Chains A and B, each alone.
Chain A
Amino acid sequence: MTLIAFFFYVFAVLCIASAAMVIIARNPVHAVLFLILAFFNAAGLFVLLGAEFLAMLLVIVYVGAVAVLFLFVVMMLDVDFAELKAGFIKNAPVGAVVGGIVLVELALLFIVHGFDLGTAGKLQAATPPIESGIANTEALGRLIYTKYVYFFQASGLILLVAMIGAIVLTLRHKEGVKRQSIAAQVARNPATAVEVVKVPSGSAIVPSSQGQNS
């Protein structure tokens, strides 16, 4: 028990510290690396909670894909962070006022009502019981293809739209670009690929047909 508590504090402190460093770090590449560290520690916290599937997802999806993508974007694009920061500072007071108002409102609710904000905690029965002897990866798998198949398919459609959108907005068909046509390459044989030309001595070679070697 104390071992779990020890690891909880290690992961939690590291997670918060690296999250703070994401914002503080001057070098954007360092910020992304700290973000990856924060993800790893959050994954550790999930493992402690017994949610090993979420931990796996966090490492595979966020560290493996999202953070690497961030890293590429930060390194490839020439983003002027100083200018971004100037814009941020200019608008910060407005944001602080709006955020402050919401914070005060929520704090007032808390002061008036304390922790008894409603029906939380009285509804444990509403969540379905977890069958014993099943790892939560398997439990999720059973649910996602049965009870939640509609949501699963709908998410698929959303991703399809995102893909179509990315292609529509960025793909450009350039004219006059030589593209590789594998079918044409494979279809070549010595009869079509090689041409025997009789060259009269003293004159240049003029190819009789174009496009054979495309």
Chain B
Amino acid sequence: MSILVGYAPVLPEILLAVGAMALLMLGAFGPDNEKSGEQITWLALLLIVAAAALIVLQPPKTEQLFEGAFVVDRFSRFIKLLVLLGSAGALLLSVDYLKKKRLMKFEYAVLVLLSTVGMMMMVSANDLIALYLGLELQSMALYVLASMQRENLRSSEAGLKYFVLGALASGMLLYGASLIYGFTGSTSFPVIAGVAQAHDAAQNVGLIVGLVFLLVGLAFKVSAVPFHMWTPDVYEGAPTPVTAFFASAPKIAAMALLMRSLGVAFPGLEPQWLQIIWFVAIASMLLGSFAAIGQTNIKRLMAYSSIGHVGFALVGLAAGTHEGAQAVLIYLVIYIVMTLGTFACILSMRRGDEMIEEIDQLSGLAQTNLPMAFTLGMLMFSLAGIPPLAGFFAKLYVFSAAVQAGLFPLAVIGVLASVVGAYYYIRIVLIMFVKDPEEKFAPVSGKLGFVMAASLVFIFVFATPFVGGLIVDAAGAAAKSLRF
């Protein structure tokens, strides 16, 4: 019995993994129809809520399991709750779409659950092998989800492209991990940190080469420039609810992995990795802003938007301070809520059974469906970072952390990039409110309306001291457990 109590910190992961397998059996041996697929999706949602409850109920202390490979601390709990929020939101968004497109299969929910387990393992990874296994579990499920719509050529292409490039990134990451292991003699983050700190940079050249390759692999997973090429194609080709999932939970988990591996394993090489993060942050912000201008497909636009947002979040990491790490966490909270809300709007762009993805078709939405136009408009303003919406505070915290760390060029470039970004976000608002109306969209379903309303409320109430303060404090406490 005492052995079981020792495993209490991994209980949320065990619950999700065992639950996913139970649902798999239920789906495989139960009746094979759409209704059972939908029921299993709801059960999966219930499992996610239960896992989140278990995480909230965990005692607030740092615990290590499996010889230090798995660590549960404030940081991991904070990010895991965000990841679960993203997964639950993506599942909620997918029910109607999957029914319409006749894709309602029980495997969908099972794969989302297993991918979520992978993300939670990434967040808690304190060892190179744990890092890789979590990443691979997460990615493997995502490859399948991207090509779920197998009759659709674009969906299959998206899955294949993601798979091939993901395998390349995994190869880079493993090469880096093997170099790091070779030069330190351990895969455990704290041991690597000890070795890296015991010698100065000139003696650690091999380790730095390994670190660079590791960063390449992780940058691919957060889709930061110059490893972003897969993002627009995959986002456009994958079924829309899957795109919503891609843009939310996996990004959060990969950012968390980046923060923990750099903060815990490589504090001794900080000057080296800071340069890389600076470059990646600047390039992502600029490319995300400029490349999005010419887009006509809203899913592609969201892909470039997510690249830009990753750049902004990385500015906080580039500061390399406690405030910076806290700002990244705040940014991730706001980003995930805005993303889920925006995708709820995109999924509501439907006429009959046909999904609309062209931005021009939003024309005059304010006259045909004012609540939806208002929600999407506010989300766009928030993504652009206009006060007093939540997106403004996200950028404010990140840039003020950068300024406090003395990174004025980075902050200036960030502000300029967000001005350029504001152009294409506000263009959508103009199209909706000024232009002549197009044909009406189908009525918004209850589930999508719920997600939209929730995210709309969130971006408004974040400015209030209570909600904002709560999140800022939680993010600060979480960042502290990362040695930042």
Contact = CB atoms under 8 A, between A and B. Distances in A.
Contacts of A148: 129
Q: Which of B24, B111, B206 has the most CB of A within 10 A?
A: B206
Query: Size band of the B side of the interface?
Result: 35 or more
A58 to B, nearest CB: 18
B144 A160 contact: no
B66 interface: yes
A164 B183 contact: no
B130 interface: yes
B143 interface: yes
B88 interface: no
A123 B185 contact: yes
A169 B150 contact: yes
Contact of B140 (A116, A118, A158): A158
Main secondary structure of the interface of B (DSSP, over half): helix
B102 interface: no
B167 interface: no
A113 interface: yes
A117 to B, nearest CB: 4
B105 A158 contact: no
Interface in B139-184: 140-141, 143-144, 147-148, 150, 159, 182-184
B191 interface: yes
Interface in A147-199: 147-151, 154-155, 157-158, 160-162, 164-165, 167-169, 173
A157 B150 contact: no
Given A117-B206, A126-B186, A151-B69, A169 B144 contact: yes
Q: Main SS of chain A's interface residues?
A: helix
A147 B130 CA distance: 13
A107 interface: no
B483 to A, nearest CB: 21
B66 A150 contact: yes
A158 B133 contact: yes
A127 interface: yes
B203 A161 contact: no
A1 to B, nearest CB: 28
Contacts of A155: 133
B107 A168 contact: yes
A147 to B, nearest CB: 5
Contacts of B111: 161, 164-165, 168
Interface string B184-195: 111000010001
Interface of A: 106, 109, 113, 116-120, 123-127, 147-151, 154-155, 157-158, 160-162, 164-165, 167-169, 173
10 contacts: A106-B209, A118-B204, A119-B184, A120-B182, A150-B69, A150-B70, A151-B69, A158-B137, A168-B105, A173-B32
What are the nearest 8 A-B pairs in CB distance? Answer: A126-B185, A123-B185, A117-B206, A165-B144, A118-B206, A150-B66, A154-B133, A118-B183
